[in-house]
Structure 1
């Protein structure tokens, strides 16, 4: 950590907003004008819209993440967590990965901590559930699903086989619908290489408490998405929820009960709970209350944006909706980050702040290879696309939204190679415990260990007698 008398701009969070805000500030800042410090528990930013494709093996996991130190060479990147903020002293408490916590002074503060999975006190969920908020979870899901196929192919126990081949997904928004579609695609391809497993043996279940899936693209395309998934053998249960999943026994509110080794939880997100310890004004759902300028209400040196902020939607309010707020998606996060960066520079130089205003451009969703839905807003018109064309729109939009040309090129290269080469269907489940194999061969044998222990006791006894 550098020590400097220059003003410090502290950015808490290195996700989509944190990364783009830091890049914007560094680009607009004069040489030596301030020190930009980014604090995040991970040393990389994850482009979450690509997690379903990473889970399906369409994109290399390394290409879904962006290393912060490489992209922000002029910034100070600290790997750790901000656990407290003293607004009176303008000091943040940082807990690094190792070692004791320390205080970090700042002059300007940006809160970009994003969101975490929204969960409920459902029996068994913590022990059985698999999230989809990080690249580790996406790759873990991929390895887990392929491992279930391995189990089903090798066992003669019909109950074990049925439980391994039942996959339950809770949540029908973008994350849930895209993930189940991509995983079903992958499992269908993988089944071709198994002698005793076919797609007909598998059971995919999608559950959502709402009355439709993919609400972001509208009711018509949401209905199309539901019918498309059902045509591929996916069971879709709406207006219901999961009551328990203890030991993999899933009980739904509609009375359905199934046994499953795979329970994927994508039922929405909530602001990072650490915000409650920062002493900032929060909205009813835990978001930081901000002004249209992205300044935190009641302050002139703190800004917030993205999933952890409650940002007024000026376009919606001009249309007559006084309670319109910007939805938590990548489209708003990218544009908010740029306005936020400009406003931090303006605030540092004593210039007026610029309000954030952006009209929704639509939404796109991929439903597996060559399948998708898209709702594009052009002026007051809404263009609805489905099938292969929508899938192309999905890939083009997110491919270009991926930060840095390095990652853009790598992602498009992955997609291009996939056109000519078959999908990888190997499970690397041992990655979760990579030392297990070495430990098994290196651990002392029980007899040898007991003998060594006995000799040690005898030596201690001999020393005691000698003394």
Structure 2
């Protein structure tokens, strides 16, 4: 007589981002009662929809509407807020450092690895001290307050050199994140200057630095050229095929000899797999990503799956031209991989074969500020307001949960009738400063 299964299969998902949350959503909607338990572990109690971070930083969307509370949407899952520090899949266990500092071991039967990626930095002098990334909602809020605070300080200083530095903003990295962040924030600062009597739009100095010869490689070269021309029409300086040698103390020296000072450095020069993966016994490729099959199963390892930015999943739409092609780290792949991943895990639990992931790249859309955008979809190239509308329509459709879709739509609708809010809440970065001064007086 076959043994009767008495305990649910323990599924642990490392990461609560696109892959983690969407996989958990798929599992909780399809698993039978007591078939399996699902635990999601992430340092943050929410999932961040990163394509909306530039608009959150520019004030077009309320920051809280860009995140999805994990406990609210994953009602049939366990959510553990903590940081996974290592995984020993041979023992089917992992170590978690909880928010209060205690460390605990979590055992599992099936593992899903989806910790995502972090900003890819370079050994540039001054980067660690000066740079601001745009990967989290906290960074987006900080960046908004920081940029607006520079305007306040520039309006109050009597030193023209200091004013020039305060009003100089540098974005390093010409991918989607860099271009959209630059365009949205430049739009915001240009609008905000109407409230500053002694500052003029020509006082602003926005700079884009890209190490390669083009921006946004995901779109056609023609659309990339169009994007650069549109940015330059707005007075934005664009440096292509250029690298930063140093930015110590906010003094920039580029490899073409250009020198200038800037008080704001926004770093969007790519991502890399979460370094936590080095503390696992899972197979990694040369870029530190988990090696996977086209079904998103970890190569040569039973009961382990991976997807998203941290994984090297074969891109079957390109393997004929490049046998080693893997899916690029973007939201388009992550969301689609997660939906299939949930189905594949359930299929294997029920003794069926998993399906291979195949998604042909459909194209890209990008916002270049309010009412401006570019789109390259199914080979059709669109510019201006139409592309901006396509950009917003696509991303609101991909935003998880009806609750968040509606909130984002309300934010956009209100923005059509009410003026943009351009107030700095700089005190949020050090809210106890006044209290400490009062206590010490």
State the TM bucket, normalised to the shorter chain.
Answer: over 0.9
State the match for 2:48 in structure 1: 46
Shift of 1:5: 4.2
State the match for 2:106 in structure 1: 104
In structure 2, how many angstroms separate the alpha carbons of the residues matched to 1:309 and 1:194? 48
In structure 2, how many angstroms separate the alpha carbons of the residues matched to 1:118 and 1:89? 31
State the match for 2:240 in structure 1: 238
Shift of 1:6: 2.5
State the match for 2:3 in structure 1: none
1:422 to 414, 419, 422: 419
State the match for 2:231 in structure 1: 229
SS in 2 for 1:215: coil
In structure 1, how many angstroms separate the alpha carbons of the residues matched to 2:153 and 2:161? 12
In structure 1, how many angstroms separate the alpha carbons of the residues matched to 2:383 and 2:275? 37
SS in 2 for 1:145: helix
CA contact (8 A) 1:182 1:368 kept: yes
In structure 2, how many angstroms separate the alpha carbons of the residues matched to 1:25 and 1:266? 33
CA contact (8 A) 1:107 1:301 kept: yes
Answering whether residue 355 of structure 2 is matched by residue 358 of structure 1, we say: no
CA contact (8 A) 1:361 1:376 kept: yes
CA contact (8 A) 2:90 2:281 kept: no
CA contact (8 A) 1:169 1:266 kept: yes
2:132 to 92, 110, 130: 130
In structure 2, how many angstroms separate the alpha carbons of the residues matched to 1:35 and 1:439? 47
CA contact (8 A) 1:165 1:203 kept: yes
State the match for 1:441 in structure 2: 438
Aligned residue runs from structure 1 range 125-164, under 5 A: 125-164=127-166
CA contact (8 A) 1:301 1:347 kept: no
Q: Unpaired runs of 5+ in structure 1?
A: 446-467
Matched positions, count = 436
TM-score normalised over the length of structure 1: 0.92
Deviations 1:48-96 (A, max 9, x none): 0001001110000000000000010111000001111122221111110
State the match for 1:410 in structure 2: 407
Answering whether residue 14 of structure 2 is matched by residue 12 of structure 1, we say: yes
SS in 1 for 2:80: strand
In structure 2, how many angstroms separate the alpha carbons of the residues matched to 1:99 and 1:193? 46
Aligned residue runs from structure 1 range 63-462, under 5 A: 63-318=65-320, 320-377=321-378, 382-443=379-440, 445=441
SS in 2 for 1:363: strand
CA contact (8 A) 1:289 1:310 kept: yes
CA contact (8 A) 2:155 2:196 kept: yes
CA contact (8 A) 2:7 2:34 kept: no
Shift of 1:438: 1.2
Q: Which has the larger radius of gyration?
A: 1
In structure 2, how many angstroms separate the alpha carbons of the residues matched to 1:19 and 1:176? 25
CA contact (8 A) 1:292 1:311 kept: yes
TM-score normalised over the length of structure 2: 0.97
State the match for 2:62 in structure 1: 60
In structure 2, how many angstroms separate the alpha carbons of the residues matched to 1:295 and 1:200? 54
Shift of 1:172: 0.4
CA contact (8 A) 2:134 2:268 kept: yes
Shift of 1:150: 0.3
Shift of 1:350: 2.1
In structure 2, how many angstroms separate the alpha carbons of the residues matched to 1:279 and 1:335? 27
SS in 2 for 1:216: coil
In structure 1, how many angstroms separate the alpha carbons of the residues matched to 2:53 and 2:13? 24
CA contact (8 A) 2:89 2:282 kept: no
